[in-house]
Structure 1
Amino acid sequence: MITYTGLNDGELAILLQQGDRAAFTEIYSRYKYLLYLHAYKRLRNADEAEDIIHDLFAVLWNNRDSFVLKTHLSGYLYTAVRNRIFKFMAHKDIESSYISSFFETAKNTVNITDHLVRENQMAILIEKEIAALPLKMREIFEMSRKQHLSHKEIADQLQLSEQTVSKQVSNALRILKAKLWFLTFLAFFIKP
């Protein structure tokens, strides 16, 4: 019967490649704590260090058929742990960057949404105030601002003088500005 604790790393590696569970158990027992300390020193997180060590040994066992030791077993295992730590940290950085980007995008989306809501509310208020203008003034104002007709074109269509049209548009703007300036201030400059 083989005493695995007395075998050197090279002998254990050969037995591992042949599928010997006891050799794997000996390698695990020999190196798990040292590798864990190495990983913990770098990560400063017990769970993450433990996960890396368990992953390393799971891969070692699952790939035992193709496992070829070209250096010392300890060097191989430390290098494998180091590479897993680098990969883990890179993944963590990418994850952190993605989360930051997500929150920045969400924040900007909220700002855009908030702006659009305020803009729509303002448009509704303006339309409400335009509808409250005296009938003839509203008709002239809408022809000027919505249909983009010149004062002369409006005057010709409504059989009025250009001066009357100009005066009605000016009066409509004055009324709307007086009613909407405070609402504009509230809608665009005060955050909810």
Structure 2
Amino acid sequence: MQNDGTIWDKVRQGDEAAFRQLFEQQWEALFTYAYKILKDQAQVQDIIQGLFIHLWEKRATLPRVTAVMPYLRHALRNRLLNAIRDQHVYQRHVTIFRQAVMESDNSLIEGLHLKETEQQLLRSINTLPEKMKDVFYLHRIENLSVAEIAARTGSSEQTIRNQLNTALHRLRVIGGWK
């Protein structure tokens, strides 16, 4: 059995078998750590998967590491903090939107219609896969550009465009919007 530093060096050199081995060795411990913080199995799985995708995509520029688990745990902790921050920002925007709806009291019927539309939109957004929902939120709510989202998520700009287009298509189908 190879030590973590050797496996890490092989991953940095593009060895797919070493990458799979690293993933299999570290997955459970990383999942346990992250689940204690987020308490959301699907979100934790997405975040860890995103971490490993990022590692593979950036393998040539990864630093030399002898203690792999502390490095991975630190990288995961940063992603968890980002997820928590993003969730708080999302909830804050929902609250602001609700307040705006309530303040625009042109008529009771209009207010009810807006609230119903908001709820339908939020339900529709929540049916999107986690990563697609995050990309949609960052673009439409936080007004980040495709390039900014790609940099933040470690994905290509084309992947972000594809996710946005797919999200809009799904929302139109689900919500019956044109």
Question: Which residue among 7, 20, 24 is the counterpart of 2:19?
Answer: 24
Q: Which runs of 5+ in 1 are unaligned?
A: 1-5, 118-192
Deviations 1:157-186 (A, max 9, x none): xxxxxxxxxxxxxxxxxxxxxxxxxxxxxx
Contact map agreement 2:10 2:18 (CA 8 A) in 1 = yes
4+ residue runs over 4 A deviation:
none
What is the rounded CA distance, in whole Å, between the counterparts of 2:60 and 2:29 in structure 1?
25
1:114 equivalent in structure 2: 107
Residue 53 (structure 1) aligned with residue 56 (structure 2):
no
What is the rounded CA distance, in whole Å, between the counterparts of 2:102 and 2:64 in structure 1?
52
2:70 equivalent in structure 1: 75
Quick one: higher RCO (CA 8 Å, sep 6+), 1 or 2? Answer: 2
TM-score of the two chains, using structure 1 as the length reference? 0.55
Determine helix, strand or coil for the equivalent of 2:14: coil
Contact map agreement 2:11 2:59 (CA 8 A) in 1 = yes
Deviations 1:78-130 (A, max 9, x none): 01111110000001000000011011101111x2x129x9xxxxxxxxxxxxx
What is the rounded CA distance, in whole Å, between the counterparts of 1:32 and 1:100 in structure 2?
36
Largest Rg, 1 or 2: 1
What is the rounded CA distance, in whole Å, between the counterparts of 1:40 and 1:76 in structure 2?
18
Q: How far is 1:69 from its partner?
A: 2.8
Contact map agreement 2:8 2:65 (CA 8 A) in 1 = no
RMSD across aligned positions (CA): 1.6
TM-score of the two chains, using structure 2 as the length reference? 0.59
Contact map agreement 2:5 2:68 (CA 8 A) in 1 = yes
